[in-house]
Structure 1
Amino acid sequence: MAQATERAVLVVSHGSPSHPVSQEIAMRDLACRFRALLPGREVRAVTLAARTVLPKVVAGLEDPILCPWFMSDGWFVRTHLPNRLAEAGLSRWVSTPPLGLMPGLGELMTARLQVRLDQLGWAPEQTTVILAAHGSPSSAKPREATEAAAKALARRGGFKAIHPCYVDEPPAIRDIARRSGQAIVLPFFAARAGHVTGDLPEELAAAAFDGPVLDPVGVWPETTALALAAITHLQRASAA
Protein backbone atom coordinates (compact mmCIF):
# COMPACT_ATOMS: atom_id res chain seq x y z
CA MET A 1 0.00 0.00 0.00
CA ALA A 2 1.25 3.49 -0.81
CA GLN A 3 2.28 5.65 2.10
CA ALA A 4 0.29 8.82 2.86
CA THR A 5 3.32 10.95 2.06
CA GLU A 6 3.54 9.65 -1.49
CA ARG A 7 2.23 12.16 -3.99
CA ALA A 8 -0.02 11.13 -6.82
CA VAL A 9 1.64 11.07 -10.23
CA LEU A 10 0.21 13.03 -13.15
CA VAL A 11 1.62 12.29 -16.62
CA VAL A 12 0.71 14.81 -19.32
CA SER A 13 1.52 14.68 -23.03
CA HIS A 14 0.80 16.92 -25.99
CA GLY A 15 -1.61 14.52 -27.66
CA SER A 16 -2.94 14.81 -31.19
CA PRO A 17 -5.60 17.49 -31.87
CA SER A 18 -6.63 15.68 -35.06
CA HIS A 19 -6.88 12.27 -33.36
CA PRO A 20 -7.40 12.98 -29.64
CA VAL A 21 -9.10 9.70 -28.77
CA SER A 22 -6.27 7.43 -29.92
CA GLN A 23 -3.73 9.39 -27.89
CA GLU A 24 -5.97 9.36 -24.80
CA ILE A 25 -6.05 5.58 -25.10
CA ALA A 26 -2.27 5.56 -25.40
CA MET A 27 -2.04 7.64 -22.23
CA ARG A 28 -4.29 5.21 -20.36
CA ASP A 29 -1.94 2.43 -21.41
CA LEU A 30 1.00 4.53 -20.23
CA ALA A 31 -0.69 5.06 -16.86
CA CYS A 32 -1.06 1.27 -16.53
CA ARG A 33 2.67 0.87 -17.16
CA PHE A 34 3.39 3.37 -14.40
CA ARG A 35 0.99 1.67 -11.98
CA ALA A 36 2.77 -1.63 -12.53
CA LEU A 37 5.93 0.03 -11.20
CA LEU A 38 4.10 2.00 -8.49
CA PRO A 39 1.67 -0.44 -6.86
CA GLY A 40 -0.81 1.35 -4.64
CA ARG A 41 0.16 4.76 -6.00
CA GLU A 42 -2.38 6.99 -7.69
CA VAL A 43 -1.35 7.59 -11.29
CA ARG A 44 -3.32 9.66 -13.78
CA ALA A 45 -2.44 10.41 -17.40
CA VAL A 46 -3.94 12.78 -19.94
CA THR A 47 -3.18 14.76 -23.10
CA LEU A 48 -3.54 18.49 -23.62
CA ALA A 49 -5.29 17.90 -26.93
CA ALA A 50 -8.45 16.47 -25.32
CA ARG A 51 -9.45 19.79 -23.78
CA THR A 52 -12.55 18.62 -21.91
CA VAL A 53 -10.76 15.66 -20.32
CA LEU A 54 -8.00 17.52 -18.44
CA PRO A 55 -10.25 19.09 -15.74
CA LYS A 56 -11.79 15.70 -15.03
CA VAL A 57 -8.40 14.02 -14.71
CA VAL A 58 -6.93 16.61 -12.31
CA ALA A 59 -10.07 16.89 -10.19
CA GLY A 60 -9.28 16.10 -6.56
CA LEU A 61 -5.52 16.09 -7.02
CA GLU A 62 -3.47 18.02 -4.47
CA ASP A 63 0.18 18.80 -5.10
CA PRO A 64 0.95 15.83 -7.40
CA ILE A 65 4.23 14.99 -9.08
CA LEU A 66 3.90 16.12 -12.67
CA CYS A 67 5.73 14.09 -15.31
CA PRO A 68 5.70 16.00 -18.64
CA TRP A 69 5.73 13.44 -21.47
CA PHE A 70 7.47 15.89 -23.83
CA MET A 71 10.91 15.79 -25.42
CA SER A 72 12.03 19.32 -24.49
CA ASP A 73 11.33 22.11 -22.02
CA GLY A 74 10.09 24.60 -24.57
CA TRP A 75 6.96 26.72 -24.60
CA PHE A 76 4.56 23.83 -24.12
CA VAL A 77 6.24 22.64 -20.92
CA ARG A 78 7.26 26.01 -19.50
CA THR A 79 4.19 28.08 -20.33
CA HIS A 80 1.27 26.26 -21.95
CA LEU A 81 1.19 23.23 -19.65
CA PRO A 82 1.25 25.24 -16.38
CA ASN A 83 -1.44 27.55 -17.74
CA ARG A 84 -3.67 24.66 -18.76
CA LEU A 85 -3.24 22.91 -15.42
CA ALA A 86 -4.13 26.11 -13.56
CA GLU A 87 -7.18 26.63 -15.78
CA ALA A 88 -8.24 23.05 -15.03
CA GLY A 89 -8.16 23.78 -11.30
CA LEU A 90 -4.80 22.38 -10.25
CA SER A 91 -3.05 24.99 -8.11
CA ARG A 92 0.13 23.22 -6.93
CA TRP A 93 2.46 20.54 -8.23
CA VAL A 94 6.13 19.63 -8.47
CA SER A 95 7.60 18.52 -11.77
CA THR A 96 10.22 16.12 -13.05
CA PRO A 97 12.21 17.12 -16.12
CA PRO A 98 10.39 16.38 -19.39
CA LEU A 99 11.02 12.93 -20.79
CA GLY A 100 13.60 14.08 -23.34
CA LEU A 101 15.77 15.66 -20.65
CA MET A 102 15.55 13.00 -17.95
CA PRO A 103 18.84 11.76 -16.47
CA GLY A 104 19.85 8.39 -17.88
CA LEU A 105 18.13 8.80 -21.25
CA GLY A 106 21.44 8.62 -23.10
CA GLU A 107 22.26 5.25 -21.55
CA LEU A 108 18.78 3.96 -22.32
CA MET A 109 18.95 5.00 -25.98
CA THR A 110 22.42 3.51 -26.34
CA ALA A 111 21.26 0.19 -24.87
CA ARG A 112 18.21 0.10 -27.15
CA LEU A 113 20.30 0.78 -30.22
CA GLN A 114 22.87 -1.86 -29.25
CA VAL A 115 20.19 -4.53 -28.86
CA ARG A 116 18.86 -3.81 -32.35
CA LEU A 117 22.34 -3.68 -33.89
CA ASP A 118 23.16 -7.04 -32.31
CA GLN A 119 20.01 -8.46 -33.91
CA LEU A 120 21.08 -7.07 -37.27
CA GLY A 121 24.69 -8.17 -36.87
CA TRP A 122 25.84 -4.59 -37.38
CA ALA A 123 28.86 -3.03 -35.70
CA PRO A 124 28.21 0.36 -34.02
CA GLU A 125 31.37 1.85 -35.51
CA GLN A 126 30.02 1.12 -38.99
CA THR A 127 26.52 2.45 -38.30
CA THR A 128 25.10 5.97 -38.41
CA VAL A 129 22.28 6.90 -36.04
CA ILE A 130 19.63 9.14 -37.58
CA LEU A 131 18.11 10.95 -34.61
CA ALA A 132 14.78 12.07 -36.04
CA ALA A 133 12.99 14.73 -34.00
CA HIS A 134 10.33 17.42 -34.16
CA GLY A 135 12.36 20.62 -34.16
CA SER A 136 10.78 24.07 -34.23
CA PRO A 137 11.19 27.14 -36.43
CA SER A 138 10.28 29.42 -33.51
CA SER A 139 12.17 27.98 -30.52
CA ALA A 140 15.66 26.63 -29.91
CA LYS A 141 14.52 24.33 -27.09
CA PRO A 142 13.52 21.27 -29.18
CA ARG A 143 16.80 21.42 -31.10
CA GLU A 144 18.80 21.83 -27.88
CA ALA A 145 17.18 18.76 -26.35
CA THR A 146 17.80 16.70 -29.49
CA GLU A 147 21.41 17.81 -29.72
CA ALA A 148 21.93 16.97 -26.04
CA ALA A 149 20.61 13.48 -26.76
CA ALA A 150 22.96 13.19 -29.75
CA LYS A 151 25.92 14.17 -27.57
CA ALA A 152 24.90 11.59 -24.96
CA LEU A 153 24.84 8.91 -27.66
CA ALA A 154 28.22 10.04 -28.99
CA ARG A 155 29.77 9.70 -25.53
CA ARG A 156 28.51 6.18 -24.98
CA GLY A 157 27.75 4.31 -28.17
CA GLY A 158 30.86 4.28 -30.37
CA PHE A 159 28.71 4.85 -33.46
CA LYS A 160 30.09 5.95 -36.81
CA ALA A 161 28.06 9.16 -36.60
CA ILE A 162 24.93 10.59 -34.98
CA HIS A 163 22.90 13.00 -37.09
CA PRO A 164 20.00 14.97 -35.57
CA CYS A 165 17.36 15.91 -38.14
CA TYR A 166 13.89 17.39 -37.95
CA VAL A 167 10.33 17.53 -39.19
CA ASP A 168 9.96 21.30 -38.71
CA GLU A 169 13.43 22.73 -39.34
CA PRO A 170 16.63 21.86 -41.21
CA PRO A 171 18.37 19.58 -41.64
CA ALA A 172 15.40 17.66 -43.00
CA ILE A 173 15.08 13.98 -42.23
CA ARG A 174 15.07 13.08 -45.92
CA ASP A 175 18.32 14.95 -46.55
CA ILE A 176 20.14 13.15 -43.73
CA ALA A 177 18.66 9.73 -44.56
CA ARG A 178 19.58 10.08 -48.24
CA ARG A 179 23.30 10.22 -47.53
CA SER A 180 23.74 8.15 -44.37
CA GLY A 181 24.72 4.73 -45.76
CA GLN A 182 24.30 1.95 -43.20
CA ALA A 183 22.02 3.67 -40.72
CA ILE A 184 19.34 3.15 -38.10
CA VAL A 185 16.60 5.64 -37.27
CA LEU A 186 15.87 6.55 -33.67
CA PRO A 187 12.62 8.60 -33.45
CA PHE A 188 13.14 11.14 -30.65
CA PHE A 189 9.42 11.51 -29.96
CA ALA A 190 7.23 10.97 -26.90
CA ALA A 191 4.41 9.12 -28.66
CA ARG A 192 3.48 7.13 -31.72
CA ALA A 193 1.40 9.92 -33.24
CA GLY A 194 1.20 11.90 -36.48
CA HIS A 195 4.86 12.85 -36.84
CA VAL A 196 5.97 9.25 -36.26
CA THR A 197 3.21 7.56 -38.27
CA GLY A 198 2.99 10.12 -41.07
CA ASP A 199 5.82 12.62 -41.44
CA LEU A 200 8.68 10.27 -40.59
CA PRO A 201 7.80 7.46 -43.03
CA GLU A 202 7.10 10.05 -45.74
CA GLU A 203 10.51 11.62 -45.24
CA LEU A 204 12.25 8.24 -45.26
CA ALA A 205 10.35 7.16 -48.36
CA ALA A 206 11.41 10.38 -50.10
CA ALA A 207 15.01 9.45 -49.32
CA ALA A 208 14.50 5.85 -50.51
CA PHE A 209 15.64 4.77 -47.05
CA ASP A 210 14.79 1.17 -46.22
CA GLY A 211 16.86 0.65 -43.08
CA PRO A 212 15.63 -0.21 -39.59
CA VAL A 213 13.50 2.26 -37.63
CA LEU A 214 13.09 1.94 -33.87
CA ASP A 215 9.88 2.68 -31.99
CA PRO A 216 9.70 6.24 -30.62
CA VAL A 217 11.45 6.78 -27.29
CA GLY A 218 8.28 7.46 -25.32
CA VAL A 219 6.69 4.05 -25.99
CA TRP A 220 9.64 1.89 -24.97
CA PRO A 221 8.83 -0.31 -21.95
CA GLU A 222 12.05 0.83 -20.27
CA THR A 223 11.09 4.50 -20.49
CA THR A 224 8.62 4.27 -17.61
CA ALA A 225 11.38 2.92 -15.37
CA LEU A 226 13.53 5.91 -16.34
CA ALA A 227 10.67 8.24 -15.41
CA LEU A 228 10.14 6.35 -12.16
CA ALA A 229 13.73 7.15 -11.15
CA ALA A 230 13.05 10.86 -11.74
CA ILE A 231 9.80 10.66 -9.79
CA THR A 232 11.47 8.87 -6.88
CA HIS A 233 14.29 11.41 -6.79
CA LEU A 234 11.81 14.27 -6.72
CA GLN A 235 9.72 12.57 -4.05
CA ARG A 236 12.75 12.18 -1.79
CA ALA A 237 13.98 15.72 -2.43
CA SER A 238 10.54 17.12 -1.62
CA ALA A 239 10.37 15.15 1.61
CA ALA A 240 13.84 16.21 2.81
Structure 2
Amino acid sequence: MSGTRSPFPKAPATEALIVAHGQPSDPAPAEAALAKLAAQVQALRPEGPVRAATMAAPAALESALATAGGPVLVYPLFMAAGWFVTDALRKRLAGAPATVLRPLGLDPGLEAVALRGLRVSAARRGWSEGETEVLLAAHGSATGTAAGRAAQGFAAALAARWPGPVAAGFVEQAPGVDEVARGMGARMLCLPFFAANGNHVRDDVRTALAAAGRADALLPPLGAHPAVPELIAAALRAAEGLGAAA
Protein backbone atom coordinates (compact mmCIF):
# COMPACT_ATOMS: atom_id res chain seq x y z
CA MET A 1 0.00 0.00 0.00
CA SER A 2 1.44 3.33 -1.02
CA GLY A 3 0.84 6.71 0.56
CA THR A 4 2.08 8.67 3.52
CA ARG A 5 -1.07 9.18 5.59
CA SER A 6 -0.46 8.43 9.25
CA PRO A 7 -2.69 5.77 10.84
CA PHE A 8 -2.94 8.06 13.86
CA PRO A 9 -5.16 11.09 13.19
CA LYS A 10 -3.59 14.40 14.17
CA ALA A 11 -5.21 16.13 17.11
CA PRO A 12 -7.08 19.29 16.12
CA ALA A 13 -5.26 22.55 16.74
CA THR A 14 -6.19 24.56 19.80
CA GLU A 15 -8.73 27.26 19.06
CA ALA A 16 -7.38 30.79 19.05
CA LEU A 17 -8.93 34.07 20.11
CA ILE A 18 -7.44 37.47 19.25
CA VAL A 19 -8.49 40.06 21.83
CA ALA A 20 -8.14 43.82 21.47
CA HIS A 21 -9.26 46.82 23.48
CA GLY A 22 -11.69 48.15 20.88
CA GLN A 23 -13.57 51.47 20.92
CA PRO A 24 -16.02 51.83 23.83
CA SER A 25 -17.81 54.78 22.19
CA ASP A 26 -18.42 52.86 18.94
CA PRO A 27 -17.55 49.15 19.23
CA ALA A 28 -18.76 47.90 15.84
CA PRO A 29 -16.00 49.23 13.52
CA ALA A 30 -13.23 47.91 15.78
CA GLU A 31 -15.00 44.54 16.00
CA ALA A 32 -15.17 44.39 12.20
CA ALA A 33 -11.51 45.33 11.79
CA LEU A 34 -10.44 42.69 14.32
CA ALA A 35 -12.58 40.05 12.60
CA LYS A 36 -10.78 40.87 9.34
CA LEU A 37 -7.42 40.40 11.07
CA ALA A 38 -8.59 37.06 12.51
CA ALA A 39 -9.56 35.92 9.01
CA GLN A 40 -6.07 36.80 7.76
CA VAL A 41 -4.49 34.80 10.59
CA GLN A 42 -6.92 31.95 9.92
CA ALA A 43 -5.70 31.78 6.30
CA LEU A 44 -2.13 31.41 7.58
CA ARG A 45 -3.12 28.89 10.27
CA PRO A 46 -5.95 26.86 8.72
CA GLU A 47 -5.60 23.92 11.08
CA GLY A 48 -7.61 25.56 13.88
CA PRO A 49 -10.34 28.19 14.29
CA VAL A 50 -9.23 31.78 14.88
CA ARG A 51 -11.82 34.09 16.39
CA ALA A 52 -11.77 37.71 17.52
CA ALA A 53 -13.35 39.88 20.20
CA THR A 54 -12.81 43.35 21.56
CA MET A 55 -13.14 44.05 25.25
CA ALA A 56 -15.21 47.13 24.50
CA ALA A 57 -18.04 45.33 22.70
CA PRO A 58 -20.59 44.11 25.27
CA ALA A 59 -20.34 40.34 25.86
CA ALA A 60 -18.20 39.80 22.73
CA LEU A 61 -15.36 38.17 24.67
CA GLU A 62 -17.65 35.94 26.69
CA SER A 63 -19.55 34.89 23.55
CA ALA A 64 -16.32 33.97 21.76
CA LEU A 65 -15.18 31.88 24.72
CA ALA A 66 -18.53 30.09 24.82
CA THR A 67 -18.32 29.35 21.10
CA ALA A 68 -14.86 27.85 21.53
CA GLY A 69 -16.20 25.42 24.10
CA GLY A 70 -12.75 24.18 25.10
CA PRO A 71 -9.12 25.20 25.56
CA VAL A 72 -8.27 28.42 23.77
CA LEU A 73 -5.09 30.37 23.06
CA VAL A 74 -5.74 34.06 23.72
CA TYR A 75 -3.59 36.48 21.74
CA PRO A 76 -3.70 40.01 23.22
CA LEU A 77 -3.54 42.61 20.44
CA PHE A 78 -1.98 45.13 22.81
CA MET A 79 1.38 46.87 22.75
CA ALA A 80 2.28 46.24 26.40
CA ALA A 81 1.56 43.83 29.23
CA GLY A 82 -0.23 46.58 31.08
CA TRP A 83 -3.38 46.69 33.17
CA PHE A 84 -5.73 45.59 30.40
CA VAL A 85 -3.70 42.43 29.73
CA THR A 86 -2.55 41.51 33.23
CA ASP A 87 -5.70 42.48 35.13
CA ALA A 88 -8.83 43.32 33.13
CA LEU A 89 -8.46 40.58 30.53
CA ARG A 90 -7.48 37.89 33.02
CA LYS A 91 -10.46 38.72 35.21
CA ARG A 92 -12.82 38.31 32.27
CA LEU A 93 -11.14 35.02 31.39
CA ALA A 94 -11.48 33.69 34.94
CA GLY A 95 -12.68 30.10 34.90
CA ALA A 96 -12.15 29.67 31.15
CA PRO A 97 -9.58 27.13 29.88
CA ALA A 98 -7.54 29.92 28.32
CA THR A 99 -3.80 30.42 27.88
CA VAL A 100 -2.83 34.08 27.46
CA LEU A 101 0.10 34.62 25.12
CA ARG A 102 2.59 37.47 24.97
CA PRO A 103 1.00 40.66 23.57
CA LEU A 104 1.85 41.94 20.10
CA GLY A 105 4.03 44.80 21.35
CA LEU A 106 6.41 42.37 23.07
CA ASP A 107 6.79 40.02 20.10
CA PRO A 108 10.52 39.73 19.28
CA GLY A 109 9.71 39.80 15.57
CA LEU A 110 7.96 43.17 15.69
CA GLU A 111 11.20 45.15 15.63
CA ALA A 112 12.15 43.73 12.23
CA VAL A 113 8.67 44.51 10.91
CA ALA A 114 9.01 48.12 12.06
CA LEU A 115 12.43 48.48 10.48
CA ARG A 116 11.19 47.15 7.14
CA GLY A 117 8.32 49.61 7.15
CA LEU A 118 10.56 52.54 8.05
CA ARG A 119 13.02 51.68 5.29
CA VAL A 120 10.24 51.61 2.71
CA SER A 121 8.74 54.89 3.95
CA ALA A 122 12.10 56.67 3.95
CA ALA A 123 12.96 55.39 0.47
CA ARG A 124 9.62 56.56 -0.91
CA ARG A 125 10.48 60.05 0.26
CA GLY A 126 13.95 59.85 -1.21
CA TRP A 127 15.62 60.04 2.20
CA SER A 128 18.57 58.03 3.40
CA GLU A 129 18.11 56.09 6.63
CA GLY A 130 20.87 58.03 8.34
CA GLU A 131 19.14 61.38 7.79
CA THR A 132 15.66 60.10 8.70
CA GLU A 133 14.58 60.70 12.30
CA VAL A 134 11.94 58.44 13.81
CA LEU A 135 9.32 59.45 16.36
CA LEU A 136 7.70 56.42 17.98
CA ALA A 137 4.29 57.71 19.05
CA ALA A 138 2.90 55.63 21.90
CA HIS A 139 0.02 55.62 24.36
CA GLY A 140 1.89 55.74 27.64
CA SER A 141 -0.02 56.03 30.89
CA ALA A 142 -0.57 58.61 33.58
CA THR A 143 -1.13 55.90 36.20
CA GLY A 144 1.09 52.91 35.36
CA THR A 145 4.55 52.24 33.98
CA ALA A 146 4.15 49.18 31.72
CA ALA A 147 3.00 51.05 28.60
CA GLY A 148 5.77 53.63 28.84
CA ARG A 149 8.45 51.01 29.51
CA ALA A 150 7.33 48.93 26.54
CA ALA A 151 7.47 51.91 24.18
CA GLN A 152 10.81 53.16 25.49
CA GLY A 153 12.25 49.67 25.22
CA PHE A 154 11.01 49.33 21.66
CA ALA A 155 12.40 52.75 20.75
CA ALA A 156 15.78 51.75 22.21
CA ALA A 157 15.77 48.53 20.19
CA LEU A 158 15.00 50.47 17.01
CA ALA A 159 17.70 53.03 17.83
CA ALA A 160 20.27 50.26 18.03
CA ARG A 161 19.56 49.28 14.41
CA TRP A 162 18.26 52.46 12.74
CA PRO A 163 21.06 54.80 11.58
CA GLY A 164 19.13 58.00 12.31
CA PRO A 165 17.85 59.34 15.66
CA VAL A 166 14.91 57.56 17.32
CA ALA A 167 12.80 58.92 20.20
CA ALA A 168 9.48 58.07 21.84
CA GLY A 169 6.64 60.53 22.42
CA PHE A 170 3.40 59.85 24.24
CA VAL A 171 -0.30 60.60 24.29
CA GLU A 172 -0.82 60.24 28.05
CA GLN A 173 2.57 60.94 29.60
CA ALA A 174 5.62 63.11 29.05
CA PRO A 175 7.25 63.80 26.72
CA GLY A 176 4.26 64.43 24.49
CA VAL A 177 4.19 63.59 20.79
CA ASP A 178 4.06 67.28 19.88
CA GLU A 179 7.03 68.11 22.13
CA VAL A 180 9.24 65.42 20.60
CA ALA A 181 8.13 66.31 17.07
CA ARG A 182 9.14 69.94 17.55
CA GLY A 183 12.64 68.85 18.46
CA MET A 184 13.16 66.78 15.33
CA GLY A 185 14.45 67.80 11.91
CA ALA A 186 12.59 68.17 8.64
CA ARG A 187 13.10 64.55 7.63
CA MET A 188 11.04 62.80 10.26
CA LEU A 189 8.75 59.78 10.26
CA CYS A 190 6.18 59.20 13.00
CA LEU A 191 5.50 55.52 13.60
CA PRO A 192 2.48 54.97 15.90
CA PHE A 193 3.24 52.21 18.40
CA PHE A 194 -0.41 51.18 18.46
CA ALA A 195 -2.17 47.91 17.70
CA ALA A 196 -4.81 49.43 15.43
CA ASN A 197 -5.85 52.60 13.67
CA GLY A 198 -8.18 53.72 16.45
CA ASN A 199 -9.06 57.09 17.91
CA HIS A 200 -5.66 57.57 19.56
CA VAL A 201 -3.93 57.41 16.18
CA ARG A 202 -6.58 59.15 14.09
CA ASP A 203 -7.23 61.91 16.60
CA ASP A 204 -4.64 62.25 19.39
CA VAL A 205 -1.43 61.50 17.49
CA ARG A 206 -2.58 63.30 14.36
CA THR A 207 -3.61 66.38 16.36
CA ALA A 208 -0.30 66.45 18.25
CA LEU A 209 1.67 66.25 15.02
CA ALA A 210 -0.45 68.98 13.45
CA ALA A 211 0.20 71.21 16.46
CA ALA A 212 3.92 70.77 15.81
CA GLY A 213 3.47 71.42 12.09
CA ARG A 214 4.38 67.81 11.26
CA ALA A 215 1.10 66.20 10.18
CA ASP A 216 2.78 64.92 7.00
CA ALA A 217 5.08 62.65 9.02
CA LEU A 218 2.36 60.25 10.21
CA LEU A 219 2.65 56.60 9.14
CA PRO A 220 0.07 53.82 9.62
CA PRO A 221 0.16 52.21 13.09
CA LEU A 222 2.62 49.38 13.58
CA GLY A 223 -0.17 46.93 14.40
CA ALA A 224 -1.66 47.49 10.93
CA HIS A 225 1.50 46.35 9.12
CA PRO A 226 0.80 43.55 6.59
CA ALA A 227 3.32 41.29 8.34
CA VAL A 228 1.42 41.28 11.65
CA PRO A 229 -0.94 38.39 10.77
CA GLU A 230 2.08 36.14 10.21
CA LEU A 231 3.56 37.21 13.55
CA ILE A 232 0.32 36.20 15.25
CA ALA A 233 0.09 32.91 13.37
CA ALA A 234 3.70 32.12 14.29
CA ALA A 235 3.03 32.89 17.95
CA LEU A 236 0.03 30.55 17.94
CA ARG A 237 2.03 27.76 16.29
CA ALA A 238 4.86 28.23 18.78
CA ALA A 239 2.45 28.08 21.71
CA GLU A 240 0.94 24.86 20.39
CA GLY A 241 4.40 23.38 19.94
CA LEU A 242 5.33 24.17 23.52
CA GLY A 243 2.06 22.67 24.70
CA ALA A 244 2.64 19.50 22.73
CA ALA A 245 6.13 19.16 24.17
CA ALA A 246 5.02 19.76 27.74
* 1:174-226 alpha-carbon deviations (Å, 9 max, x no partner): 11111211200000001111101111111111111143321111111101111
For residue 131 of structure 1, what is the aligned residue in structure 2? Answer: 136
* 1:137-178 alpha-carbon deviations (Å, 9 max, x no partner): 1111001110111122112222x2111010000100011111
Taking only aligned residues, the RMSD between alpha carbons, in angstroms, comes to 1.4
Q: What letter matches 1:82 in structure 2?
A: R
- Structure 1's 3 and 22: CA in aligned 2 closer, same or farther, altered over 3 A? farther
Cα drift, residue 3 of structure 1: 4.5
For residue 37 of structure 1, what is the aligned residue in structure 2? Answer: 44
Return 5+ residue gaps in structure 1 as ranges: none
Aligned mates of 1:172, 1:73 — CA distance in 2? 21
Q: What letter matches 1:72 in structure 2?
A: A
Tell me if the contact between 1:165 and 1:176 (Cα under 8 Å) persists in the aligned partners. yes
Aligned mates of 2:36, 2:235 — CA distance in 1? 20
2:145 to 140, 147, 162: 140
Indicate the percent of aligned positions where both proteins have the same amino acid: 37
For residue 77 of structure 1, what is the aligned residue in structure 2? Answer: 85
Q: What letter matches 1:81 in structure 2?
A: L
Return 5+ residue gaps in structure 2 as ranges: 1-8
For residue 46 of structure 1, what is the aligned residue in structure 2? Answer: 53
* 1:15-43 alpha-carbon deviations (Å, 9 max, x no partner): 01011111011111111111111124201
For residue 67 of structure 1, what is the aligned residue in structure 2? Answer: 75
Q: What letter matches 2:212 in structure 1?
A: A
For residue 107 of structure 1, what is the aligned residue in structure 2? Answer: 112
For residue 184 of structure 1, what is the aligned residue in structure 2? Answer: 189
Tell me if the contact between 1:9 and 1:67 (Cα under 8 Å) persists in the aligned partners. yes
Q: Which is worse superposed, 180-189 or 4-13?
A: 4-13
TM-score by length of 2: 0.92
Rg larger in 1 or in 2? 2
For residue 97 of structure 1, what is the aligned residue in structure 2? Answer: 102
Q: What letter matches 1:63 in structure 2?
A: P
Q: What letter matches 2:223 in structure 1?
A: G
For residue 173 of structure 2, what is the aligned residue in structure 1? Answer: 169
For residue 206 of structure 2, what is the aligned residue in structure 1? Answer: 201
Aligned mates of 2:39, 2:12 — CA distance in 1? 21
Cα drift, residue 95 of structure 1: 2.3
Tell me if the contact between 1:103 and 1:230 (Cα under 8 Å) persists in the aligned partners. no
Tell me if the contact between 1:65 and 1:231 (Cα under 8 Å) persists in the aligned partners. yes
Does the residue aligned with 1:202 lie in a helix, a strand or coil? helix
Aligned mates of 1:170, 1:8 — CA distance in 2? 40
Q: What letter matches 2:240 in structure 1?
A: Q
Does the residue aligned with 2:153 lie in a helix, a strand or coil? helix
Tell me if the contact between 1:107 and 1:156 (Cα under 8 Å) persists in the aligned partners. no
TM-score by length of 1: 0.94
Tell me if the contact between 1:13 and 1:48 (Cα under 8 Å) persists in the aligned partners. yes
Aligned mates of 1:49, 1:223 — CA distance in 2? 22
Which portions of structure 1, spanning 4 or more consecutive aligned residues, are displaced by more than 6 angstroms? none
Number of positions where the alignment pairs a residue of Structure 1 with one of Structure 2: 235
